[in-house]
């Protein structure tokens, strides 16, 4: 685990999760082989530990968790952080509860991000991996962040149009772009980027909009 930036204590829970993922049909992934998943999911998740706001996070919301990445990997690597896996599909939530069994710093939240009132302004880090276009991710994330908190979005190559739309949405939401970090978590990885935004102003009261609006009518 050290080569991935995680403590050795992360090895046991992550190995157990990879074994479960290999056999559980409810795991939301096509990458079942543990050796492949170690790179495609675990390394791809833990590469974000290179970012200081991720390494120092204490209250994390992982949106659209699905198979649990990056949330489960970050929870294993950051045992002092409280990690919430936010997922709207009950089938995926039940899988996540099995995957997180024994991890005391993880809670599965069955909710849409737009309807999760308990999470409002409660996190210093919100993560999302391959969830949606940047304006949508940012609209989901901004209301959940405390002042000075950060959003980190795992993306492949992003078009200039999506990047510009993300910056415009960020301005509306009280966020500011911080950086786009090109990463290569494993040798075969291509076009991997981490998009970082910081909450610099209060999110307008009209957010979150009602469920589905972020996707149907994206900001910007």
In this structure, is the dihedral angle defined by the CA atoms of residues 147, 151, 91 and 104, taken in order, positive or negative? negative
Do residues 152 and 121 touch, judged by C-beta distance below 8 A? no
- Residue 166 to residue 204: CA distance in whole angstroms: 17
What local confidence, expressed as pLDDT, does residue 3 receive?
A: 61
CA proximity to 40, closest of 4, 93, 10, 86? 4
In the chain, the largest separation of any two C-alpha atoms, in whole Å, equals 46
Do residues 31 and 41 touch, judged by C-beta distance below 8 A? yes
Domains for the chain: give ranges and CATH numbers.
2-216 (3.40.50.150)
Before 70, cis peptide (omega within 30)? yes
pTM of the model: 0.96
Tens digit of each residue's pLDDT (9 = 90 or more) over 193-214: 999 999 999 999 999 999 999 9
pLDDT in tens, the chain (220 residues): 656 778 999 999 999 999 999 999 999 999 999 999 999 999 999 999 999 999 999 999 999 999 999 999 999 999 999 999 999 999 999 999 999 999 999 999 999 999 999 999 999 999 999 999 999 999 999 999 999 999 999 999 899 999 999 999 999 999 999 999 999 999 989 999 999 999 999 999 999 999 999 999 999 7
């Amino acid at each position: 685990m050290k080569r991935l930036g995680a403590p050795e204590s992360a090895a046991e829970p992550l190995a157990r999760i990879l074994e479960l993922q290999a056999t559980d049909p409810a795991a939301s992934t096509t990458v079942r082989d543990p050796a492949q998943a170690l790179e495609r999911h675990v390394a791809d998740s833990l590469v974000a530990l290179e970012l200081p706001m991720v390494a120092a996070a204490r209250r994390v919301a992982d949106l659209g968790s699905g198979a649990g990445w990056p949330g489960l990997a970050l929870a294993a690597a950051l045992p002092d952080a409280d990690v919430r896996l936010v997922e709207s599909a009950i089938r995926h939530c039940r899988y996540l509860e099995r995957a997180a069994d024994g991890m005391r710093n993880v809670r599965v939240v069955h909710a849409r991000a737009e309807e999760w009132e308990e999470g409002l302004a409660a996190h210093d880090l919100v993560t999302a991996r391959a969830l949606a276009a940047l304006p949508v991710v940012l609209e989901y994330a901004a209301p959940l962040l405390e002042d000075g908190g950060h959003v980190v979005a795992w993306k492949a190559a992003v078009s200039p149009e999506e990047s510009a739309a993300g910056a415009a949405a960020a301005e509306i939401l009280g966020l500011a772009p911080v950086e786009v970090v090109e990463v290569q978590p494993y040798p075969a990885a291509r076009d991997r980027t981490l998009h970082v935004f910081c909450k610099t102003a209060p999110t307008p009261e009209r957010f979150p909009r009602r469920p589905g609006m972020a996707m149907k009518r994206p900001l910007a």
